Amino acid sequence: MKHLKTHSQIVISLLPIPKSRNQMDRQTVEKVARSAHIALTDEEMDRYSRDLEEILGYFEMLDDAPDIDSRTIDPIGVADVMRDDSPSTNIDADILLTDMNTYERYVRGPRLL
């Protein structure tokens, strides 16, 4: 039986198609993953390389957007919101330590050297 497109596939095919491809090769994925502290298998490396190349290709349309002089971070104005600089404790340290992997109240972690 001929495969019929679903609604979602029809909608997506109507959206703009990327002009060209970025070079999100395995080496770049490996470099990014190392920087992000994620160890990838060979299969993941191939898959993410493919996915990210497709995604970044689509993002190329940002190049066509008009340049404007703006450095917006928050979508609303945020100013004069400093609170008083008075020390306080909301949660007792012993409570915070309850579910932590600790040794004599020190948080356990990997060796540095």
Residues that bind other proteins (CB under 8 A): 6-12, 14-16, 24, 28-29, 32-40, 44, 48, 51-52, 54-56, 58-59, 61-68, 70-83, 90-91, 95-96, 98-101, 107-112
Q: Which is nearer to other proteins, 38 or 46 (CB)?
A: 38
Least distance to other proteins, CB of residue 32, Å: 5
Q: Which is nearer to other proteins, 64 or 104 (CB)?
A: 64
The helix/strand/coil state of 46 is helix
Least distance to other proteins, CB of residue 113, Å: 8
Across 75-88, b (16+ Cβ under 10 Å) vs e yields eeeeeeeeeeeeee
Across 7-18, b (16+ Cβ under 10 Å) vs e yields eeeeeeeeeeee
- Which residue from 68, 66, 27 is spatially nearest to 49, judged by alpha carbons? 27
Q: Which is nearer to other proteins, 9 or 46 (CB)?
A: 9
